[in-house]
Chain A
């Protein structure tokens, strides 16, 4: 019997092994070590005797040890207990193959449950551990020199902890020199590595240089730009040419990308995700392939990983929706439910009339375009998640058959179960509470660094909660049901209207409403009055609402197509705190050239000092005009750098499938001719060289291959810049001063009706 010894640290990662799982632990000194845990992944088979026998015939073909147990579990939608067979194996690698073989043999009539949860996640759910959890392991040295065995462990942490410590992590940054754009869209540059405050430019033999850096600094995290789509595949090619493997993992194996890159269609856009280069014992995180890191940093990523029990490297590459569905799966497993394999439910039959009433989103008003002074914005906090929790809106509770006297959802009329608390409510409630507590902590903390950490975690929660709602109505979501989704938006519309009625009863004007936010105004009211109003609305609706802020002024912009019509989400304004709020302006759009963004940010900063309309106009004349003129001079004198002019566009098609010679098509085809492989959904950067040229290929060029000295289309860029300037202009103050000669009042948009 060998010695047992305790070792304390954080669960860094979990990987599948031939038998059980390997657990990477990082201790307080940053030392990483792998331990072995004999975990048996499992799944369930349900069906009558003859059907189970059909399943057994498939199972008998396997040589690995398979363990069977008769158990009783509950079916998710009906809540009935059903007898089933729990099948487990100590070989995670065989596990997925067994499940695959059974899935293929399902004409045998049996049902499979809880069979498509990744092994690492199942391990976390079963043990209660989670990524970056603080644990003490009792370990036993293995006789054969392999990883020490985890004999037992005790958890010193909880995913619901607000303040938790993390081990010291050494981060190695790696990217290609030559700017932020996709390195495959420009000539090959050099590799730049930053670690421990050192910056190294790798001139030659990258593989052995990297090996040397890795062994010297022993980083925990490889933080790359374009790692998944460019760096790793290229380094891998280099390495295999000399018979080596990628040096990044702590375990020396050749690596095959787990998932291939793919283009997919979502919310009316085509997007592209690169393949994932995931390593063992060391995280590879690609800043360009992670929505979560972009939105809420490593702090937010780790927070979501802890909550969802999805290992960090995989979490970084998934959508926040995956986080919430993982949490739902965990909740359901703990509540003894069988996890449905995939969506088998169909939408229930609805008449045309019902469709009209229910298939709508939130209420989106259109404000009258214009400049408003002293307006308050009040927002329902996490409206949809709150409604789902409050009204028990969940796939298994909406439209239930067991409660004939249950209250009905407004408009939609569905009944909601009163006997069973829904999975969604059970998952969301603690998350809503945790987010609320982080919000309070942000307010009460003085330390700006700590405050920023809380803010990032809180933002991660926000994204996570937002997607709960989206997934509720998603056809392929494991726990989705369109009726639950519709009930949520119906309650949302009801709440916005109740709020509108309450404020209007008290003499406030309802200027604008957008799903879960209201903009209201009453002459002479102060911030305190609006705070009081917010409380009244909260009491009246029964769901939390807060004063987002009191605007000194806010400008609602008209539609780009029609200057007389307002649009729901194109506005900017400044709160009494001096903070700007900007939505839908060119400065926020990804295809706006950087020089325009830079000038506009400066201009908005200046305008945020205005306390009212009069001051705004004075600032336009005195402080904004010089900024516009300086930028315009630089532009017209040809002094702009290519990067400042670059326009980012997302490819909607394969480069060869563009039917028209648009600028984007020309640039995509230019890149193709230079040997750059492009997928629909990928982004490209271009510079407009001559927008009106007859030959489409002369209209714009790829930023990365632009030869110097370059030319650019000054009048086109001037037009773009002026479009952005018009968004912040007021009553044509700037426009008339910038080009007084072609000023004709006839072309000025006339307000179509003055609302009072």
Chain B
């Protein structure tokens, strides 16, 4: 069966390779972050594919934002838990 449209996974890979020069010039520690960002995009390939917008970069960026926000929320949650923990200890001291 011929496919006219690339599966979204392949679209992400092709965007990733378009950004190869950008990646090359990044510092090594930043290259890893870029790779993780593309990992986020791959994680959300199903919704991106279902959305089927003509510009695949949009859902790719949106997927990255979602995962970053998720990480921020997680850190906030942990921070709050630590603060509460600290409060409890201070009060009991």
A residues in contact (CB < 8 Å) with B: 267, 352-353, 355-357, 359-361, 363-366, 368, 470, 473-475, 493, 497, 513, 562, 564-566, 752-756
Tell me whether B43 and A368 are in contact (CB under 8 A). yes
Tell me whether A562 and B39 are in contact (CB under 8 A). yes
By beta carbon, the residue of chain B nearest A356 is: B52
**Chain A: minimal CB distance from B28 (Å):** 14
- Distance between Cα atoms of A189 and B67 in the complex (Å): 62
- Distance between Cα atoms of A627 and B52 in the complex (Å): 48
Tell me whether B52 and A357 are in contact (CB under 8 A). yes
Given contacts A360-B50, A497-B50, A752-B36, 4 further A-B pairs with CB under 8 A are A360-B52, A473-B1, A513-B46, A753-B67
Which residues of A are found within 8 Å of B7, using beta-carbon distances? 360-361
Given contacts A368-B43, A752-B36, A756-B74, contact A359 B49 (CB under 8 A): no
CB<8 Å pairs between A and B, sample of 24 = A356-B53, A357-B52, A359-B5, A360-B7, A360-B49, A363-B46, A363-B49, A364-B46, A366-B43, A366-B45, A366-B46, A473-B1, A493-B50, A497-B50, A562-B39, A564-B39, A565-B39, A565-B43, A752-B39, A753-B67, A753-B70, A753-B74, A755-B70, A756-B74
By beta carbon, the residue of chain A nearest B41 is: A565
Which residues of A are found within 8 Å of B45, using beta-carbon distances? 364, 366
Tell me whether B39 and A356 are in contact (CB under 8 A). no
Which residues of B are found within 8 Å of A474, using beta-carbon distances? 1
B residues in contact (CB < 8 Å) with A: 1-5, 7, 36, 39, 42-43, 45-46, 49-50, 52-54, 67, 70-71, 74
Which residues of A are found within 8 Å of B54, using beta-carbon distances? 352-353, 356
- Distance between Cα atoms of A564 and B67 in the complex (Å): 14
How many A-B pairs fall under 8 Å by CB?
54
Tell me whether A359 and B4 are in contact (CB under 8 A). yes
Which residues of B are found within 8 Å of A355, using beta-carbon distances? 4-5
Most chain A CB within a 10 A radius of its CB, from B3, B5, B36, B53: B5
By beta carbon, the residue of chain B nearest A361 is: B7
Which residues of A are found within 8 Å of B1, using beta-carbon distances? 267, 470, 473-475
By beta carbon, the residue of chain B nearest A357 is: B52
Which residues of A are found within 8 Å of B46, using beta-carbon distances? 363-366, 513
- Distance between Cα atoms of A353 and B71 in the complex (Å): 34
- Distance between Cα atoms of A368 and B39 in the complex (Å): 11
By beta carbon, the residue of chain B nearest A366 is: B43
Most chain B CB within a 10 A radius of its CB, from A267, A359, A473: A359
By beta carbon, the residue of chain B nearest A753 is: B71
By beta carbon, the residue of chain B nearest A367 is: B43
Which residues of B are found within 8 Å of A755, using beta-carbon distances? 70
By beta carbon, the residue of chain B nearest A566 is: B43
- Distance between Cα atoms of A426 and B50 in the complex (Å): 30
Which residues of A are found within 8 Å of B39, using beta-carbon distances? 562, 564-565, 752
